[in-house]
Structure 1
Amino acid sequence: MALSADAPDTATAPVSETRIDAEEILALVLARLEDDKAEEVVSIELRGKTTIADYMVVASGRSQRHVGALAEHIVEALKERGVGGIKVEGMPACDWVLIDASDVIVHVFQPEVRGFYNIEKMWSGLRPDGGVPAKPSVANPSAASPSPASRG
């Protein structure tokens, strides 16, 4: 049976990237960080908080070299799995490396830099002092109670 002239040539057809969901990317990142002995790994679900990503992962490395190796291994693993469009910032200094894997954002810090920025508290919904933030109030001047000074 002969192939028709309209049949695509599969030998030269481009391979499309496989769409990998956020949970698979997250599992891959967490496994890679565990294998490479990352410290204080925190995963934060961002759904409902922002549209920039579904998950954020924050981890620490023990040194510039460790932070760089963690980041390189994550990027390699993501590329091997077919995740495209990965963006990386901070590799030359390796004190804070950000990996944007679309649905999952990964921050790998040296401990002192992580402590300074404390981004996991910002995204987890806690106040810097560890308390739960107050619910936003609506300013309604007519509903405000009189101040102690205005009471007779």
Structure 2
Amino acid sequence: MQTEQLIEKVQTILDDMKARDLVMIDVKGKSSVTDYMIIVSGTSRRHVLSMANEVLQKVKELGIKPMGSEGQEGGDWVLVDLGDIVVHVMMPDARSFYDLERLWRHSTEEAVTTA
């Protein structure tokens, strides 16, 4: 599966789970870790955990093996590493505090796209 197709699938999964404020950032050539970051907010810790788990489950069903995930014990910020795509599912307070959009906007001139 091409990266662009996987991005669309992940966005659909998150939309179906009622993710809030979805932002995708192209960090190709700017990060040695990934090419794209998808950042979304949840309405509760349970919602954050459910969205992250749904992404993990659905991509596995597509035959994609996630590289890993972190943050399930707290639920404030769960990171799902899909290789070329890293998904950040965050509580609004954590998202505001870490402000990944601003951080990556300053390190790249690429447009931040909102879906």
Is TM more than 0.5 here?
yes
Tell me: higher relative CO, structure 1 or 2? Use CA pairs within 8 A at least 6 residues apart. 2
- In structure 1, the residue matched to 2:26 is 45
The answer as to 2:39 corresponding to 1:58 is yes
Two-structure CA RMSD over aligned residues (Å): 1.4
Q: Percent identity?
A: 37
Any conservation in 2 of the 1:75–1:86 contact (CA below 8 Å)?
Answer: no
TM-score (structure 1 length as normaliser):
0.67
Matches within 5 A, 1:1-150: 20-125=1-106
Q: Secondary structure at the match of 1:125?
A: helix
C-alpha offsets along residues 38-63 of structure 1, whole Å, 9 cap, x if unaligned?
00110001112123211100000000
How far apart are the structure 2 equivalents of 1:113 and 1:33?
Answer: 18
Which of the two has higher C-alpha Rg? Answer: 1
Give the TM-score normalised by the residue count of structure 2.
0.88
Q: Which structure's residues are more often strand, by fraction?
A: 2
Q: Runs of at least 4 residues of structure 1 off by over 2 A?
A: none
| 1:75/1:85 CA distance change after superposition, 3 Å | closer
Unaligned segments of structure 2, at least 5 residues = 110-115
Counterpart of 1:82 in 2: which secondary structure? Answer: coil
